[in-house]
Amino acid sequence: MHKHKFGKIFGSIIAIVLVAAAIILGIQWYNGTGIFAQLGEVTFAENITAEQQQLVNAALEANELDLRHDVKVSTKTTHALETANTELLYDVKVPVTDFYNPLSNIEASELNDYELISVLELTPQQKLLSVDNNYYLDTLDSGAVFEYLVLEGNSEDVAKIATLVKPQLSVFPTKDTLLTFAQTGVTALSRGMNIKLREVGDASYFAKNIGDFLSSFDLTHTSNESSFSTAATDRNICSTPAMVDALTSIGLDIVELSGNHNQDCGDQAALDTLDKYAELGIQTVGGGATAELAAIPLKINQKGNNITFLAYNLSTGGYTLDNTPGANFYTTEKARADISAAKERGDTVIVDVQYYECNNYASEVEDRTCDYANSAAGDQIGLFREIINLGADVVVGTAAHQPQTYELYGDGVIYYGLGNLFFDQVWWPGTTRSLILIHYFFNNQLIQTRIVPTIYDDKMQTQLMDTESAASFIERLNQARSQQ
C-alpha cells in the first residue's frame, strides 16, 4: 500500500519535471536560446565604406564575441553633434578653402561645393570656413559634418560591439584638449584714451564690444606699449593706473612688452607696471626688469600642447641691454638659439617682433601704403622670413599701427602687422583697424589660425567688423601681398 502511494507521488514528480523541461525547451526554441541558440552575425549596410568595415572587423576579430542576434552596422551624418549609446563618432569633416580666400562663412546648403576634410587633417596652410556662422573649432558641436557608425540590433549585442569598436576610433578635439590662443596687436591705453577715461569713468568702457569675445579663449594676448603711471597725460604714451581695467575686461593672460614706449614715464613706472601684471596673474614676454629677464621665453604647456612664445624689439628704441627695464633686443644669434632650443623640446614656436613702424598715416582718407609689408624702414620682409627659416612656425609683427598683409612662407606663416587693438588714433582710417589672430592647437600641433578683423571709431570702443567689411578688408590685404 505504501509502495503504491509512493510510486504515484514519484510518477507525478517526474511528470511535472518533464512538463517544466518541455516548457523551458519550448521557450528556448521560440527565442533561439539555450540548446537552440544560433550565433548572430554582423552585417554591413550599403553605405558603409571599405575602410569603416575593415575597422569594425578588425575590432571583432581581435576578440571572441558571441552574439545572440544579428547586428547591422550602417553610417549616418548630421550637421550637429549627437551622442547616443548606439552611435559612434567616426569622423568630423570640415569645409576648407584656399588660405588667402577672403570668404569666412558658408551656408549648410553650400557644403557640397567645398572641399570637406577630416578635422584631423587640418593644417595652418588651409582656411577653415564657418557654416551658418558656426565655426567648428569654437563650437565643437556645429559647423561641420559629423559622421557616425550606427549599430542596430539587440541592445546587449550592440553594447558588446560598441565596447570593442570605440577604442579603434579616432579622438577628436574637445574643450579639454583644444587650446585656443587669441593674439592681438598694438595696445596703447594713453593720450586721448586718458581723456576719454575721465569722461566715462570706467576703463572697461573701451572693451565693452570686444571683451566677451576675447575672454572666451583659453589665452588672450596683447602688445601693450604704455606703462601705468600717475604721470599719464593726454600727450604722453602712459596709462592712467585705472586703465588696467581695460586689460582685465578682455581676459588678458599674456602681455607683450616688446614695444618702444614702455619707458616713456620712466623706469620706475615700467617696474611698477611689471609688478602690477604679476599681481594680476598676467604673464609677460618680450620685456622685463633687466635685459636677462626680458629675454626669457614664455613657455606655454596646456591641454597637451607645448608652445614657446618669443618676442623681440628691433625698432626705434625701448630695448634694454643692461640691468634697466626694457624690451628684448633682437639679434639673429639670439633668435636662432631660442628657436633651436624650443624645437628640441618639440614646441610650436610663435615669434613676435616690434619692428620699425610704417608712418604713412598723415591722411584723413584711405592710404594703403602701410598695407605693404616692406613699407617700414629696413627689410621687414627679409627679417621676418629669416625668422621662419630659423625654424619659427608663426611670425607676427606687433609694431604696425595699421594692419599689414600676411603670407605663407616656407613651412610657416607670417603676419606682418596686426594694427591697433586699443589706441586713440581715430583720425586716420587705417589706424582704427586691427587683426586678431586666433590660434588653435590640438595634439601638440597648430592646426589653424583664424583672422578676425576689428575696428573702432571716435568713441574708442573696439568691435568686430561685420562679415562683409571683414571680407573686403582681408581682400585688400591680399592685394597688397600680390603687388609687393
- The CATH number covering residue 366 comes to 3.60.21.10
Can you give the pLDDT of all 484 residues of the chain as single tens digits? 455 555 666 667 776 766 666 676 566 555 555 554 556 899 999 999 999 999 999 998 888 788 888 999 999 999 999 976 668 999 999 999 999 999 999 999 999 999 999 999 999 999 999 999 999 999 999 999 999 999 999 999 999 999 999 999 999 999 999 999 999 999 999 999 999 999 999 999 999 999 999 999 999 999 999 999 999 999 999 999 999 999 999 999 999 999 999 999 999 999 999 999 999 999 999 999 999 999 999 999 999 999 999 999 999 999 999 999 999 999 999 999 999 999 999 999 999 999 998 888 778 888 999 999 988 888 999 999 999 999 999 999 999 999 999 999 999 999 999 999 999 999 999 999 999 999 999 999 999 999 999 999 999 999 999 999 999 999 999 999 988 7
State the DSSP code for 166. G
Residue ranges of alpha helices (H) inside 37-112 are 50-61
The span from the CA of 373 to the CA of 379, in Å, is 9
Q: Which of 302, 315, 212 is nearest to 257 (CA)?
A: 315
The span from the CA of 477 to the CA of 355, in Å, is 19
At residue 466, the pLDDT reads: 96
Question: Are residues 188 and 120 located together in one domain of the fold?
Answer: no
Question: Are residues 268 and 407 located together in one domain of the fold?
Answer: yes
**Residue range(s) defining the domain that contains residue 75:** 42-168
Question: Are residues 297 and 419 located together in one domain of the fold?
Answer: yes
Which residues does 264 contact at the CB level (< 8 Å), separation at least 6? 226, 227, 236, 237, 238
Question: Are residues 121 and 225 located together in one domain of the fold?
Answer: no
Q: Which of 56, 304, 299 is nearest to 173 (CA)?
A: 304
C-alpha cell at 229: 603711471
Q: Which of 331, 244, 256 is nearest to 288 (CA)?
A: 256
State the DSSP code for 163. H
The span from the CA of 107 to the CA of 127, in Å, is 16
The span from the CA of 99 to the CA of 396, in Å, is 17
At residue 20, the pLDDT reads: 65
pTM for this entry: 0.91
Residue 378, number of CB atoms within 10 A of its CB: 12
Domain-terminating residue out of 168, 199, 216: 168
**Residue 99 burial (C-beta neighbours within 10 Å; 0-12, 13-18, 19+):** middle
Residue 419, number of CB atoms within 10 A of its CB: 27
Q: Three-class SS of residue 464? A: strand
Q: Is residue 17 part of a domain?
A: no
At residue 362, the pLDDT reads: 76
At residue 15, the pLDDT reads: 67
Question: Are residues 323 and 210 located together in one domain of the fold?
Answer: yes
Q: Is residue 23 part of a domain?
A: no
Q: Hey, which bits of 153-218 come out as E strands?
A: 179-187
At residue 361, the pLDDT reads: 79
C-alpha cell at 464: 568686430
Contacts 24+ apart (CB under 8 A), 453-456: 453/403, 454/210, 454/421, 456/420, 456/422, 456/426, 456/432
At residue 447, the pLDDT reads: 98
Question: Are residues 267 and 153 located together in one domain of the fold?
Answer: no
What's the half-sphere exposure (Cβ side, CA atoms, 13 Å) at 260?
15
The span from the CA of 127 to the CA of 381, in Å, is 23
Q: Is residue 413 part of a domain?
A: yes
The span from the CA of 222 to the CA of 254, in Å, is 7
At residue 210, the pLDDT reads: 98
Question: Are residues 359 and 237 located together in one domain of the fold?
Answer: yes
Question: Are residues 184 and 254 located together in one domain of the fold?
Answer: yes
Pair type for strands 254-256 and 219-224: parallel
Measure CA 271 to chain center: 32
Domain-terminating residue out of 137, 168, 199: 168
